[in-house]
Structure 1
Amino acid sequence: MLKKRTAILMMVISLIVGSLLTMFLTGSNSIAGQASSGEGLLASITSGGLKAEETRKIGAAIDLIEGNYYKDIERSALVDGAINGMMEALSDPYSTYMGQETAQQFEESIEGSFSGIGAEVSMEDGNVVVVSPIKGSPAEKAGIRSKDILLSVNGESLAGLELNAAVAKIRGVKGSTASIEVKRNGVAEPIKYAIVRDDVALETVNASLRKDGIGMIEITQFSLNTAERFKEELTNLEKQGMKGLVIDVRNNPGGVLSVVIDITQQFVPKGELIVQVEDKNGKREKSFSKGSSKSYPITLLMNKGSASASEILAGALQQSADVVLVGENSFGKGTVQTSFDRQLGDGSLLKITIAKWLTPDGTWIHEEGIKPDIAVSQPDYFMVAPINKEKTLQFNKNSDDVKSAQVMLDGLGYKPGRVDGYFDVGTQKAVKTFQTSQKIKANGIIDSKTAEALEKVLIEHIQDPLNDTQLKQGIAEVQKEIKAMASKK
């Protein structure tokens, strides 16, 4: 078995890496993660320079390369390469070195400002793997999914590259197109996406109140301003007489530690545990709630794209506030990073895993995730692969693209009769019916025009809350609790 080599990097021009549960430091000043969530850990962080013999060894290596290598190479590239090598030696997906430009983008993303395609990635076994697309981002809208492997960008392979080099190929200005080839589990052929880079929405909290009095708050990631925005929206819902609440952290890749603690303690009774952070010596820093519980019922929606800070929220609400978790098993990211920039002196940055975090009952969920109380999967068409527009699909064809089309047609109610990839008479009839509904020539053949129309209608169908199985279940649980509470009065 290949040893798992992983790395992760914030790519805020082409990708936004959000699940870096981070205590962000600039020199000795902690921007996030202090409060009750790591002062002892931060105080215990030490540093020490190279020993004389280590300095000589590294210096000799640089001299030998500069004096003997057959091409000229920038000295700064050698130094950066040496630091990258140190980080790779950790075999940790969340510890990495960032150059000046990337470090600046990382800081901007922590503040909630970024542009790109909007997805978090890690490097696993030499592959660029998607942790989660950001809700509402170009990546999510295009159909990028958690666990997708990015194979190439604009025709250039990402195979064998370090994550930094892969990022460089994906970066681009707003409005430009990233043609990305993706390998997805269960799909034989690579999937092609054309994703237009754009500003990823800065708003991390979205709230609404249903007519039945159930409030909805979606958190897309935990940036520095998220806790304040969450309080504003929650207060507004409560003033409107909210009877119950559904919190949605699906495809939320995480963010800043202190922010999620601030949000969580608004639901956890005072004195109850929110999270435990454990250093390499086994010393634990425990974060206790300073808030209070709510009188109304709450459910939390999560899926396999809910990572890191989202999992802290889920674990604390489940174990310390009796909140029901609905959806799918979460991602499983149970470590804490601290980022240092002033120490390097040139605007570059080291992000290092300094601890692991545990749920209130002491469980380390790393690579395991949190199980929902009520497991609910979305319909198959929510995860269907897009159709290759370069191919024409017609009667008697058999392929993954035909299977995708059948799943889409079935999800939209056109009933092809089968979803196994064989284009039979029933599939042809369903295609004709769909084409007629869209005022397309009803020939029963799926060309690029029909494929694009099919995917467009499907996206609109998925975005309709009435078709969101997990959301409906979350609302149903709150409604059930409201009725139970009313019957006791």
Structure 2
Amino acid sequence: MLKKRTAVLMVVVALISGSLLTLFLSNSSSFAGQAASGEGLFASITSGGLKSTETRKIGAALDLIEGNYYKDIDRSALVDGAINGMMQALSDPYSTYMGRETAQQFEESIEGSFSGIGAEVSLNNGNVTVVSPIKGSPAEKAGIRSKDVLLSVNGESLAGLELNAAVAKIRGVKGSTATIQVKREGVSEPIEYAIVRDDVALETVNARLRDDGIGIIEITQFSSNTAERFKKELLNLEKKGMKGLVIDVRNNPGGVLSVVIDISQQFVPQGEMIVQVEDKNGKREKSLSKGSSKSYPVTLLMNKGSASASEILAGALQQSAGVILVGDNSFGKGTVQTSFDKQLGDGSLLKITIAKWLTPDGTWIHEKGIKPDIAVTQPGYFSVAPINKEKTLKYNMNSEDVKSAQIMLDGLGIKSGRTDGYFDQGTQKAVKSFQTSQKIEANGIIDAKTAEALETMLIKHIQDPLNDEQLKQGIAEVQKEIKAMASNK
């Protein structure tokens, strides 16, 4: 029997197909200036049509299907299927074909505005897999995590589908519900989320200045306007007398290559390496900083959901600017994609991996990620699974839902004495204590009302910066450096 855990919340309309942003190399990227002369990275991007034998073979297959299949066929669907088949044969989750509508959504996502649940997904070994929930998005708040596998939507399995078809099932009318089943590593049974579709606008840069003079800038993804927004916010903080900076790229899935290079130059000294991009022939293009270092200390926060462009920023700042990295090991996505839309002629798009990127010292971090200088893991309640509201939990029960409740109670400082899933007297006492604090009937039973109140309280607790261990460590490192600089004067 499938265990069902449901969390109802407002989310954006649908997942963007393909790997949402990954590391996108557009024709305006920093290496693209060499395209016109046929030099550099773009020299390796070639085109060539089908050989006559290949044309005959594909044409023959289409004729045979059209002439003999027992149902009427849609030729355009067959052509799209053939292209999807070619992309899947690459066994690369970041190379994908997008139909006209999906391609339009992808371009919108690069511009920093899109419809989705706020998560990047890719097709990994046939599974629709979350690369990262975008920081601050409904998906992140719901508990969706990097490496989660999406199994089904509204009872329809996603197994065996190409990515665009899977995304189409997740999309829907605003206000409708997508019931999504998730398989998570380390959890024995699937988790189920009931997600209400909605439209959202995405702000990629958020900044604030603490009373102690430490600035915090969060980058949720690297869209076309992110560098400009970052520069504006950074300058504003500096004008206010900022003494040190924490850059937060946790759960940032990536974005446009030129944008992350531009942001890196705000901190990497002139002439120092930011990133290297290597094509299939082993030829490397090196991006050197045209900027300068800062006089104040900087730390960078990252986690398992920090992918691609986020990892370029982390690597550049760590190796070329002496910035301390705090948090978890990053995702590990070390390839570069570019899109081809004009060639197909109907608004559809091919996004193809054309190169790999290397850190300043030449390391390829693909499928390995970048290790933080200071490893800090968030408390367990930051990633606890939601409680099934359709079941009532009470004394002497033993289940994953009870375990989730115990972890939530402990996170709120109401100790049950155990977190193994057994509902003992200590758990009952903790539940009664919570119910009393929330003015709910203190019967020691977790029904839907108590579960919802518990989850609501936990979300507020998680959103409080005072409970963010990684952020606190990042701030502490900046404070330490500020003191050291002051003592050396």
Change beyond 3 A, Cα 1:36–1:461: farther
- What is the alpha-carbon distance in structure 2 between the residues aligned to residue 50 and residue 310 of structure 1? 38
Deviates more, 1:272-281 or 1:192-201: 192-201
- What is the alpha-carbon distance in structure 1 between the residues aligned to residue 357 and residue 449 of structure 2? 49
Written as runs of structure 1 = structure 2, the 5 A alignment for 1:57-76 is 57-76=57-76
Shift of 1:384: 0.6
Change beyond 3 A, Cα 1:197–1:246: same
- What is the alpha-carbon distance in structure 1 between the residues aligned to residue 182 and residue 244 of structure 2? 40
- What is the alpha-carbon distance in structure 2 between the residues aligned to residue 31 and residue 126 of structure 1? 32
- Residue number in structure 1 paired with 2:118: 118
Shift of 1:462: 0.1
Shift of 1:189: 2.1
Deviates more, 1:146-155 or 1:64-73: 146-155
User: SS of the counterpart of 1:179?
Assistant: strand
- What is the alpha-carbon distance in structure 2 between the residues aligned to residue 196 and residue 217 of structure 1? 30
- Residue number in structure 2 paired with 1:455: 455
- Residue number in structure 1 paired with 2:435: 435
- What is the alpha-carbon distance in structure 2 between the residues aligned to residue 314 and residue 450 of structure 1? 41
Shift of 1:202: 2.1
User: Contact between 1:138 and 1:195, CA under 8 Å: does it hold in 2?
Assistant: no
- Residue number in structure 2 paired with 1:20: 22
Note the alpha carbon deviations across 1:33-75, whole angstroms, 9 max, x for none.
5467987212331111111111111100000000011111110
- What is the alpha-carbon distance in structure 1 between the residues aligned to residue 433 and residue 345 of structure 2? 65
Change beyond 3 A, Cα 1:129–1:246: same
- Residue number in structure 1 paired with 2:285: 285
Change beyond 3 A, Cα 1:384–1:103: same
- What is the alpha-carbon distance in structure 2 between the residues aligned to residue 220 and residue 364 of structure 1? 23
Change beyond 3 A, Cα 1:134–1:383: same
- What is the alpha-carbon distance in structure 1 between the residues aligned to residue 272 and residue 178 of structure 2? 47
- What is the alpha-carbon distance in structure 1 between the residues aligned to residue 112 and residue 29 of structure 2? 14
- Residue number in structure 2 paired with 1:53: 53
- Residue number in structure 2 paired with 1:464: 464
Written as runs of structure 1 = structure 2, the 5 A alignment for 1:381-400 is 381-400=381-400
- Residue number in structure 1 paired with 2:134: 134
Note the alpha carbon deviations across 1:200-252, whole angstroms, 9 max, x for none.
43210000000000000000000000000000000000001100000000000
Change beyond 3 A, Cα 1:309–1:223: same
Change beyond 3 A, Cα 1:480–1:430: same
Note the alpha carbon deviations across 1:166-199, whole angstroms, 9 max, x for none.
1111011333221111111222222111112233
- What is the alpha-carbon distance in structure 2 between the residues aligned to residue 367 and residue 390 of structure 1? 39
User: Contact between 1:117 and 1:196, CA under 8 Å: does it hold in 2?
Assistant: no
Q: Which runs of 5+ in 1 are unaligned?
A: 1-11, 25-29
- What is the alpha-carbon distance in structure 1 between the residues aligned to residue 376 and residue 213 of structure 2? 23
- What is the alpha-carbon distance in structure 2 between the residues aligned to residue 325 and residue 200 of structure 1? 31
User: Contact between 2:28 and 2:258, CA under 8 Å: does it hold in 1?
Assistant: no
- What is the alpha-carbon distance in structure 1 between the residues aligned to residue 127 and residue 449 of structure 2? 33
- Residue number in structure 1 paired with 2:9: none
The one-letter amino acid paired with 2:243 is K
- Between the aligned residues of both structures, percent identity stands at 85
User: Contact between 2:20 and 2:106, CA under 8 Å: does it hold in 1?
Assistant: no
Change beyond 3 A, Cα 1:242–1:73: same
- What is the alpha-carbon distance in structure 1 between the residues aligned to residue 312 and residue 80 of structure 2? 34
- What is the alpha-carbon distance in structure 1 between the residues aligned to residue 28 and residue 314 of structure 2? 24
User: SS of the counterpart of 1:221?
Assistant: coil
Note the alpha carbon deviations across 1:339-397, whole angstroms, 9 max, x for none.
00000111000111000000000000000000000000000000111111111110000
User: Contact between 1:22 and 1:33, CA under 8 Å: does it hold in 2?
Assistant: no
Deviates more, 1:51-60 or 1:130-139: 130-139
User: SS of the counterpart of 1:445?
Assistant: coil
Task: Give the total of aligned pairs.
Answer: 473
Shift of 1:19: 3.9
- Residue number in structure 1 paired with 2:257: 257
- What is the alpha-carbon distance in structure 2 between the residues aligned to residue 49 and residue 486 of structure 1? 65
Q: Is 1:322 matched up with 2:319? A: no
Q: Which runs of 5+ in 2 are unaligned?
A: 1-11
Shift of 1:124: 2.1
- Residue number in structure 2 paired with 1:180: 180
User: SS of the counterpart of 1:122?
Assistant: strand
- What is the alpha-carbon distance in structure 2 between the residues aligned to residue 37 and residue 20 of structure 1? 23
- What is the alpha-carbon distance in structure 1 between the residues aligned to residue 155 and residue 30 of structure 2? 41
User: SS of the counterpart of 1:128?
Assistant: strand
Written as runs of structure 1 = structure 2, the 5 A alignment for 1:178-217 is 178-217=178-217
User: SS of the counterpart of 2:25?
Assistant: strand
Change beyond 3 A, Cα 1:83–1:13: farther
- What is the alpha-carbon distance in structure 2 between the residues aligned to residue 260 and residue 410 of structure 1? 39
User: Contact between 2:44 and 2:280, CA under 8 Å: does it hold in 1?
Assistant: no
Change beyond 3 A, Cα 1:482–1:36: farther
User: Contact between 1:35 and 1:258, CA under 8 Å: does it hold in 2?
Assistant: no
User: SS of the counterpart of 2:293?
Assistant: coil
TM-score by length of 1: 0.95
Deviates more, 1:420-429 or 1:165-174: 165-174
TM-score by length of 2: 0.95
- Residue number in structure 2 paired with 1:109: 109
Shift of 1:13: 4.7
- Residue number in structure 1 paired with 2:29: 32
The one-letter amino acid paired with 2:215 is G
- Residue number in structure 1 paired with 2:7: none
